């Protein structure tokens, strides 16, 4: 009995369970043609639309708009994909009536999230490479134009996306399948306050105050500063990092609470009915 308990809780067993989640996500995605199309369709559509807008502005002697708009599109899709992919992988368990099986197994919440995050990171990397290649091919914009700041920008935006993804998962677990639409709209709800395509200063005072609490707003303000030749705003990055930590901590707390509540009330057994 002691050996079995050790095997279940040991590091090797944990890694195997996380790897199992990654493999399962891979097989589920590989066999879902509609999911693969959806992963690429919306980001590519947005890139094409804003790309043509930037081409029009460049033709009217507004060259900086090309870099600003395309950089904004490429970076914002990182948030949307990180949030949407994490939530969608969870919802696959709901739709396949497998959620109860997952959470009555030895799999912990941390292992469950780790597996989804690892596979989501792979999807996000592939998606970003495709989008960046299209931006370079169609509009001559290379994402590396942003320079060294690109790395912290991406890390902080991915962290925000994963935080929102965990919030979406927690809402569905806590309040039921009827709330699953939050998985598709949560990131979009933050976009007006993320200053993706315009500076925070153009917002009304109340909205501006809210924007300062959104990690992405500091990233996009910083991106515009870098493209304008002003250098990296390290203080803005530090604020974004603190906000991301608070978001992730709050999301994990909410998710753990939602899971405890679902187990206590028997809601887990009702998913997929």
User: Measured between alpha carbons, how far is 129 from 157 in angstroms, rounded to an integer?
Assistant: 16
| The pLDDT of residue 211 | 95
pLDDT for 104 equals: 79
pLDDT on residue 3: 45
* pLDDT in the model for residue 79: 93
CA–CA separation, 125 and 89 (whole Å): 16
- Residue 142: name the closest of 216, 225, 66, 42 by CA: 66
Give the closest residue to 257 by CA, choosing from 157, 141, 166, 150.
166
- What is the residue extent of each domain of the chain? 2-270
State the pTM of this model: 0.82
Q: For residue 98, what are the contacts with CB-CB under 8 A and spacing of at least 6? A: 92, 272
In angstroms, rounded to a whole number, what is the distance separating the alpha carbons of residues 119 and 104? 22
The CA distance from 175 to 164, in Å, is 16
Q: Helical H runs in the chain? A: 2-9, 11-30, 33-59, 64-95, 99-104, 109-139, 150-175, 182-190, 205-211, 215-227, 234-265
pLDDT (0 to 100) of residue 62: 57
Residues 69/50, Cβ–Cβ less than 8 Å = yes
pLDDT digit string (tens) for the chain, length 273 residues: 444 444 556 778 888 888 888 887 887 777 766 666 666 666 776 667 666 666 666 665 655 566 777 788 888 989 988 998 899 889 888 888 888 888 877 888 889 899 999 998 998 888 888 888 888 877 777 777 788 888 999 999 999 999 999 999 999 999 988 888 888 889 989 988 998 888 899 899 999 999 999 999 999 999 988 888 888 899 999 999 999 999 999 999 999 999 999 888 887 777 755
């Amino acid at each position: 009995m002691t050996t079995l308990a050790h095997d279940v809780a040991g590091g090797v067993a944990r890694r195997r369970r996380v790897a199992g989640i990654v493999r399962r996500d891979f097989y589920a995605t590989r066999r879902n043609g509609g999911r693969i199309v959806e992963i690429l369709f919306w980001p590519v559509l947005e890139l094409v639309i804003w790309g043509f807008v930037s081409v029009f502005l460049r033709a009217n002697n507004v060259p900086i708009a090309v870099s600003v708009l395309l950089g904004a599109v490429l970076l914002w899709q990182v948030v949307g994909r990180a949030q949407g992919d994490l939530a969608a992988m969870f919802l696959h368990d709901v739709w396949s009536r497998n959620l109860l099986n997952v959470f009555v197994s030895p799999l912990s919440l941390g292992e469950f999230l780790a597996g989804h995050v690892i596979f989501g990171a792979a999807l996000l990397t592939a998606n970003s490479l495709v989008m960046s290649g299209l931006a370079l091919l169609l509009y001559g914009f290379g994402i590396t134009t942003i320079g060294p700041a690109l790395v912290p920008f991406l890390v902080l935006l991915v962290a925000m996306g994963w935080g929102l993804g965990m919030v979406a998962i927690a809402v569905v677990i806590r309040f039921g399948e009827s709330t699953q639409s939050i998985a598709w709209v949560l990131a979009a709800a933050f976009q007006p306050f993320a200053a993706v395509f315009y500076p925070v200063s153009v917002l009304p005072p109340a909205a501006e105050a809210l924007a300062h609490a959104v990690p992405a707003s500091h990233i996009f303000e910083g991106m515009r500063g870098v493209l304008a030749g002003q250098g990296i705003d390290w203080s803005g990055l530090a604020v974004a990092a603190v906000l991301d930590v608070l978001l992730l901590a709050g999301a994990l707390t909410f998710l753990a609470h939602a899971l405890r509540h679902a187990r206590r009330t028997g809601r887990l057994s009702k998913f997929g009915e």
